[in-house]
Structure 1
């Protein structure tokens, strides 16, 4: 066969052809028109090759099999006909591969996502490597899209209707072991024996043997293999997504495509897939979700935050975490599972015992869920050294402080650490609100001091705020951005200021909710209105989850930012004094039984002065109640203040931080994107009404009225180009 730019092809004496995909100029394989064109040429040759007995498709990169399609060209398409053409190209290619006359095998390691899985599903057999990097799934609905190259048709035929619908609607990425349980892959091989396992499967296929598939239970067969069962599965799925589908049109669109294929066959299903994809790709929700994806990718690039000429200060290999509480243990566990050598320090052995117990629990849960294999979990725990002596930190390249939120104690610790660690070591604080500059002043390496604010729970939350003080060097920021990326998180470089970015924006939101409780509004009504707007949980439930004590500390720190006096610090302090700390104590704004919310604990008491709620207002084609206006515009106005004051340089940074850090409705694109969609005049007008009704805290931010702050705290490129309207 001829030479290719993105493919490497070889054959052995048995007639086994191996097609290795190695997309030039990319760290991870992605489908683009050039790669698909070359694969089509290979398929055309194989159709005529009578000597080829079997074909293996695999990646030529250690980074993984295939991350999916290159989405950048999608942003430039303005017509559904363009979209349909791209979808037909992919569907025709995978149909061609599926029809090859010889057996085909996809050898999967690392990410196999989106178009990558659709490609693998077009092969006759799949073998996967068992390790933490292998993740298999169709995440398109998380981007506001649906699988468009046959995924809605082939996945149900491979693993059954009910399991396929669940994977498609949730965008779940499954491990190799879970994929085997589902029947998505035929063979799972250990990392060190992957090639051996692949060759064994090839030998069996050449000998006419077929892998043993998964035998579903009677209930699964009833649902997946009978017409009434399939109708029941689809009906149940539509019912479950009914409310969410109003904001995420990709969910019902995916079900429509699946249903068409089940009712009318593969050809009709593929046509429905193209039609539904082409219809929703220009929906606002899809545009917002795609833009958030590109923003997340942009945030992971070091050049976004520092100049391209900035060199790394020092390669981080060993991370020390001081403080073995929930946050410290979570950071240590994450670092260890990502291959770092870890030192976990605390003041006494009992604290370390509790920290290591928490790490063990997190690791066991991850193994049970298939995040990584048991051997990988054991190896991660063995990478953690425990100590009560600061001198043991001397080997650390990065020290993360995660102790009590007391500035005086942190300053003392920073001074002590500064003495024992090498000059290249970065010292970072996991504080959520306290000034980094004052901690740095206790050291003689202020340029190597920064904030590294993880969110709780560490293993789940995707965002880390990298906090730059006035003296933090670009080299330090570059080092920390690389570490955050290596930990599998998204870095967001923010400037110093009370609460940094996310907590700074959240405080007025929490404050407004507590004010309304004091004014006599039921806690359930306040939370319900927030959820109806699209937030994952209400502000009072979120306060209970975070902890009323933590909220009380933050409210005292951030109160100085408010334009008027607030009842929130006193109200939360009174709850703390009464032992009502939220979910962890069994009572906060709600009562909890066995960790589950039972009902409101705080009755509407009108201890504060009642304030008339603003009238329902039409914004962007939807009606916002008075409660929703107070909550949402508290967020938006505070977000604009952060831009005005240079906490971050550009609106997309605010949006990404709030979506990843708080669960702000992704389909809305973030608070600043939402404000843009409503229009500046509408936003200012609503804020003026709220200011007159509720108080001066709602006076429109200077950022909205055109007085931009000339200074910024980070280097960033122009915003990512949006999808056309």
Structure 2
């Protein structure tokens, strides 16, 4: 049994103190204790008003998500809220920390809401594949209007208390002590009730509602729960309140037990487990205060921006004065965009700009606690930098490389302190992308790895610990996926057909559109470096090399797999399609039409097989880590739970056959993963 509610008296006002550390999650025990406390308030004639307040660091940061996989035991949250709304006495929600999901719905059931500045409120249920199920879709529109409610609920937006006050989501900000201010507010309401559900919905124009709906569906990838949320928000005020609440709850219950909601809960918990790294690690992170970044290119500027946004002094070093100047411009532009989007205050931007130091020599990094190298992806160049860092960096500094593919151990060998060397593989743009692979070499210390994970969390990133192997987790799997898609070009598909099939599955972009966007020359350089060690038994597709030799590097040159008009719009390229057909003919491959389903099956089997090999080789700690990497860094649809969760829901015999077919297509050197031994697939005839 966990969690309770303390009923405390302060004169004729009762304080219902919600106490379920660490974040006061709304569990069954909390609901039961709350209902009992509400009934006690109602029965006590000497109590004139009540305040709901959280113990510890939060009000209620949301419901206990672990309960969502089980039948919800009574009392359910709507019953608790109904007890507040039917009470003759006023209830005030005193908010601090976070009031999210069911926590904010509980607050919406009260007669008034007061919050400490900095409190965050919102209804993020859609991020878990469900909708608010305890009145959120019916009450929020009555406070902010239909269009704004759609804009807040569909992306699961969290709103700071100051903005929430402007929108009407709360009634007041606490000017002094929250407990005293909430008591005063409760006393002022004695003798009346101010139920939100009784309010009319403010009138919005049909154009505003339609615009909000279109934007929500587009950004929500037209998922069913987004459409359902919109439908219920639009129904608020259009039907009887009780009917609207009952319909909302029915949809919530249906979505809660659906496959997408289960997949999204899986990735939710997988992200939290991944952030902890190796379970048995006891080492604590080393302290860090000043960061250094080596290399003022696009990646270096992005990493520096991420660190500056987190509030840390940052030294950016490059021997090229022009590169430093360009980087400074990129950083300033990114910070200004942060302010215009509301993600950064003007004061925080000025502080970040003040915290940036530019240097032309590595000696400027002497006082840095964490130094991230972000230069060209060439082993010799990185080894030279690390040899210098070994000489110049202070004892105990963590030396990190941002390499995407190279061997961490060989980089560490250039130093006399390999225990201090780790990989911090950022994804571009580094100040926006959440994923950060924290890579351990053979001699990386536990303290250095713990520091890498702590740095990731400090920067607001999603860390995933990875072992030292070619491409680590993400790039290794993506390289196999891209190769499989290239095989399909030779076998009969065209770039737009492959892209369309995989976007239909749910990828944010198809592989060839991604290649054009990131630049074909980057992967080309990597293939050239690997040429001497490539297994001759493996199948190799020359099409991307031929495109690069023709100067077709992608969007930046106006031509890659596609050609691009003056507005950057992609169009099919007859030249590329002719080249592809000619390559098939030159290899004696009889081209055949590949259906959308076959393209998807081949690509997904490749991803799952390579993910299994990553696990077998010990590069990933657990299957969920791979799901986190592919979802957060490579556009794999989040609502599937990631490739390995998805695989566990498929027919195992068909998926194993597809993996075997891929391995055969890839050539004699390709291994097959034992997906059943890894626990990813169940026995023949049934999913895991």
Common fold, TM-score beyond 0.5? Answer: yes
Aligned with residue 550 of structure 1, among 522, 543, 556: 522
Aligned partner of 1:281 among 252, 256, 259: 256
- Contact preservation (8 Å) 1:613, 1:627: no
Q: Deviations over 1:574-627 (max 9, x none)?
A: 25xx2x43334444333445764242356411231155567878xxxxxx5333
Deviation at 1:482, TM superposition (A): 1.8
1:635-671 Cα deviation digits (max 9, x unpaired): 2232222223221143222222111111211222222
Unaligned 5+ segments in structure 2 are 193-200, 680-686
The residue number in structure 1 matching 2:64 is 70
Q: How does 1:86-125 map to 2 (within 5 A)?
A: 86=74, 89-99=76-86, 101=88, 104-125=91-112
Aligned partners of 1:494 and 1:500 also within 8 Å:
yes
| 1:604 counterpart = 2:604 | no
Please tell me whether residue 254 in structure 1 is matched to residue 239 in structure 2.
no
Give the distance between the partners of 2:15 and 2:318, measured in 1 at CA.
53
The alignment status of 1:195 with 2:176, answered yes or no, reads: yes
Q: Give, in whole Å, the separation in 1 of the partners of 2:671 and 2:566.
A: 43
Instruction: Quote the offset at 1:286 in angstroms.
Output: 1.8
Q: Name the SS for the 1:382 alignment partner.
A: helix
Structure 1 residues 505 and 271: alpha-carbon distance in aligned structure 2, compared to 1, 3 A threshold: same
Measured at CA, do residues 344 and 56 of structure 1 come closer, stay the same or move farther in structure 2, by a change above 3 Å? farther
User: Residues 56, 236 of structure 1: CA spacing in aligned structure 2 closer, same or farther, 3 A cutoff?
Assistant: same
Q: Is the 8 A contact 1:319 1:343 kept in 2?
A: yes
Is 1:270 matched with 2:270? Answer: no
RMSD: 3.8
Q: Which residue of 1 aligns with 2:674?
A: 703
Map of 1:40 onto structure 2: 35
- SS across alignment from 1:95: helix
| CA deviation after TM superposition for structure 1 residue 465, in Å | 0.5
Q: CA contact under 8 A between 2:59 and 2:97: conserved in structure 1? A: yes
2:465 and 2:621 in contact (8 A); partners too: no
- Which residue of structure 2 aligns with residue 672 of structure 1? 644
1:350 match: 322
3-state SS of 2:582 partner: coil
Please report how far the alpha carbon of residue 493 of structure 1 lies from its aligned counterpart in structure 2 after TM superposition: 0.9
- Counterpart residue number, 2:355: 383
1:419 equivalent in alignment to 2:391 = yes
Structure 2 counterpart of 1:172, from 157, 164, 169? 157
CA distance in 1, matches of 2:643, 2:368: 39
Q: Retained in 2: the 8 A contact 1:253–1:277?
A: no
Question: 1:621 matched to which residue of 2?
Answer: none
1:186-206, Cα deviation, whole Å (9 max, x unpaired):
4568xxxx5379978986886
Counterpart CA distance in 1 for 2:591 and 2:86 is 64
TM-fit CA distance, 1:476: 1.6
Tell me how far 1:428 sits from its aligned partner. Answer: 0.6
**Whole-angstrom distance in 2 between the partners of 1:173 and 1:612:** 54
- 1:33-74 Cα distance to aligned partner (Å, 9 max, x none): 233333334433443566667655444444x44320111233
Q: Per the alignment, in what secondary structure is the counterpart of residue 221 of structure 1?
A: coil
SS in 1 for 2:521: helix
The aligned length equals: 663
Question: Does 468-477 or 410-419 show the bigger shift?
Answer: 468-477
Relative to structure 2, which stretch is displaced further, 475-484 or 633-642?
633-642
In structure 1, C-alpha distance between the alignment counterparts of 2:612 and 2:484, rounded to whole Å: 17
Structure 1 residues 431-442: aligned runs within 5 Å: 431-442=403-414
Alpha carbons 1:241, 1:252 under 8 Å: kept: no
Q: Is the 8 A contact 1:55 1:103 kept in 2?
A: yes
3-state SS in 1 of match to 2:132: coil
Q: Is 1:632 matched with 2:604?
A: yes
| Aligned residue in 1 for 2:280 | 307
The Cα of 1:417 is off from its aligned counterpart by 0.9
Instruction: Give, in angstroms, the shift of residue 416 of structure 1.
Output: 0.8
Query: Is 1:487 the counterpart of 2:462 in the alignment?
Result: no
Candidates 144, 150, 158, aligned match of 2:143:
158
Q: Aligned with 1:678: secondary structure? A: coil
Q: Is the 8 A contact 1:507 1:555 kept in 2?
A: no
Aligned partners of 1:383, 1:460: CA distance in 2, in Å?
Answer: 19
Structure 1 counterpart of 2:196: none
SS at match of 2:306: helix
* Cα distance change of structure 1 residues 447 and 434 upon mapping to structure 2, 3 Å threshold: same
CA displacement 1:470-496 (0-9 Å, x = unmatched):
111222212211221222222111111
- Indicate the residue corresponding to 2:511 in structure 1: 539
For residue 260 of structure 1, report the CA deviation from its aligned partner: 5.9
Distance 1:315 1:629, change over 3 A: same
Contact kept in structure 1, 2:128 and 2:264, CA below 8 Å: yes
Q: 1:674 to 1:574 in 2, by over 3 A?
A: same
Q: TM-score, normalised by structure 2?
A: 0.85
Give CA-to-partner distance per residue, 1:543-578, whole Å, 9 cap, x none: 122222223234445665672223155235325xx2
- State the 1:328 CA deviation: 2.0
Aligned equivalent of 2:20, options 19, 23, 29 = 23
SS at match of 2:463: strand
- 1:292-691 matches, within 5 Å, as 292-302=267-277, 305-308=278-281, 310-312=282-284, 314-517=286-489, 521-557=493-529, 563-568=538-543, 570-575=545-550, 578=551, 580-592=552-564, 596-601=568-573, 603-605=576-578, 606-609=581-584, 611=589, 625-690=597-662
In 2 relative to 1, CA 11–321 (structure 1 residues): closer, same or farther, beyond 3 Å? farther
- CA-CA distance at 1:469 after TM superposition: 1.1
C-alpha deviations, 1:299-330, integer Å up to 9, x for none? 1224xx1525x222522222222223222222
Q: What TM-score, normalized by structure 1, do the two folds share? A: 0.81
